[in-house]
């Protein structure tokens, strides 16, 4: 007999409950194993989000490490008043926005060089035809460039929505915005993305 389909919302609730339970264990007893499990569960999402914000996977790992250090240090003050990922991405937001602003004051490596670095490992690891790989790489670079050109709040909202499939309400909690403001922010971001991609799509 076939298993009944699982509800994605139920899975999300269970995943959050597990993360909250792990974090409360860290808070109450400083359990390193529980903290390591939290890192294992969430590090891919944090690194991916920071990499998309900054355009550099190498630097993303450094910022992600800072996120989890901050989580560890904040454990004693943790209260499960929101989803664990909301709390985690709020910490991520603060650190990555600080890094974005630091870069604006002191530009470092060029975006093109960071993009090459960002996509090299993915292209090398995939066994696809050279022509298809080149087109895919070109499209990825165009999308990344278009996202990079967005203001930081729009950029993070798009990344959380597109790559983390985060609900509007949670994006609002992370960015400290109302639901209506999030929808307006994403509408402006998508309009700007279409404008930023126009040259590539027409070409």
Is residue 161, in this structure, part of any structural domain at all?
A: no
pLDDT of 105 strictly over 70: yes
Question: Among the listed ranges 51-55, 63-67, 109-113, which one has the minimum average pLDDT value?
Answer: 109-113
Q: pLDDT category, 125, cuts 50, 70, 90?
A: very low
Is residue 125, in this structure, part of any structural domain at all?
A: no
CA distance 138 to 140: 5
CA distance 187 to 69: 34
CA distance 173 to 28: 26
Is residue 37, in this structure, part of any structural domain at all?
A: yes
Tally of domains in the chain: 1
Is residue 145, in this structure, part of any structural domain at all?
A: no
Mean pLDDT, the chain, whole residue set = 86
Is residue 42, in this structure, part of any structural domain at all?
A: yes
Q: Give me the CATH number covering residue 45.
A: 1.10.1740.10
Q: Give the per-residue pLDDT at 56.
A: 79
Segment 178-199, tens digit of pLDDT: 999 999 999 999 999 988 888 7
What's the mean pLDDT in 65-92? 96
pLDDT of 170 strictly over 80: yes
CA distances from 187 to 49, 52, 79, 106 (A): 20, 19, 33, 30
């Amino acid at each position: 007999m076939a298993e009944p389909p699982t509800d994605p919302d139920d899975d999300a609730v269970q995943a959050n409950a597990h993360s909250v339970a792990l974090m409360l264990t860290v808070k109450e007893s400083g359990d390193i194993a529980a903290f390591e499990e939290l890192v294992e569960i969430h590090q891919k999402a944090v690194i991916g989000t920071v990499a998309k914000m900054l355009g550099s996977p190498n630097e993303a790992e450094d910022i992600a490490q800072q996120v989890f250090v901050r989580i560890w240090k904040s454990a004693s003050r943790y209260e499960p008043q929101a989803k664990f990922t909301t709390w985690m991405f709020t910490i991520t937001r603060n650190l990555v926005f600080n890094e974005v602003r630091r870069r604006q004051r002191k530009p470092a490596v060029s975006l093109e060089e960071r993009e090459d670095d960002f996509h090299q490992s993915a292209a090398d690891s995939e066994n696809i035809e050279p022509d298809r790989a080149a087109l895919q790489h070109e499209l990825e670079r165009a999308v990344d460039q278009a996202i990079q050109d967005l203001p930081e709040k729009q950029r993070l909202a798009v990344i959380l929505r597109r790559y983390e499939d985060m609900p509007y309400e949670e994006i609002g909690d992370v960015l400290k915005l109302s639901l209506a403001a999030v929808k307006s922010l994403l509408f402006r971001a998508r309009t700007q993305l279409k404008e930023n991609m126009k040259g590539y799509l027409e070409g």
